[in-house]
């Protein structure tokens, strides 16, 4: 089985008009009723044409994670900024994201 980029394959299936409830890294694809459909010709064609290369957003999220910016921390920082008018944590995260963006764009 070729390598699968789950988020990309899901998007490719949807773009091809295939009603899907998702897929996994082994190439198993489920329809809206959770039936496996990876053996259907249209689904097979999408899987065979699949390019597993990470997209820019996936790469950038990995770069953010390397500098300590993870979704959970972002949620708490946003909550603190919005609900408590304290942007200290979000400012720190933004600084780390700016650093990762510079490294990514070099």
What is the per-residue pLDDT across 57-90, written as a single tens digit (0 to 9) for each?
888 888 999 999 999 999 999 999 999 999 999 9
Name the band, by pLDDT with cuts 50, 70 and 90, for residue 1.
Answer: low
89 and 67 fall within a common domain: yes
For residue 98, give its domain range.
56-104
Structure tokens at 79: 């909550």
Is residue 98 assigned to a domain? yes
- Run of H or E including 23: strand 22-23
What is this structure's pTM?
A: 0.63
Q: What pLDDT sits at residue 54?
A: 86
CA distance 27 to 6: 8
Count of structural domains within the chain: 2
Largest Cα–Cα distance of the chain, in whole Å? 54
**CB neighbours of 97 closer than 8 A, spacing ≥ 6?**
64, 67, 69
């Amino acid at each position: 089985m070729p390598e699968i980029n789950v988020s990309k394959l899901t998007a490719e299936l949807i773009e091809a008009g295939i009603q899907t409830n998702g897929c996994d890294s082994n190439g198993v694809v489920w329809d809206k009723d959770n039936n496996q459909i990876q053996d259907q010709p249209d689904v097979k064609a999408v899987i065979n044409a699949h390019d597993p290369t990470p997209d820019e957003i996936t790469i950038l999220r990995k770069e953010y994670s390397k500098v300590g910016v993870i979704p959970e921390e972002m949620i708490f920082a946003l909550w603190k900024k919005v609900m408590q008018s304290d942007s200290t944590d979000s400012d720190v995260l933004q600084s780390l994201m700016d650093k990762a963006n510079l490294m990514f764009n070099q």
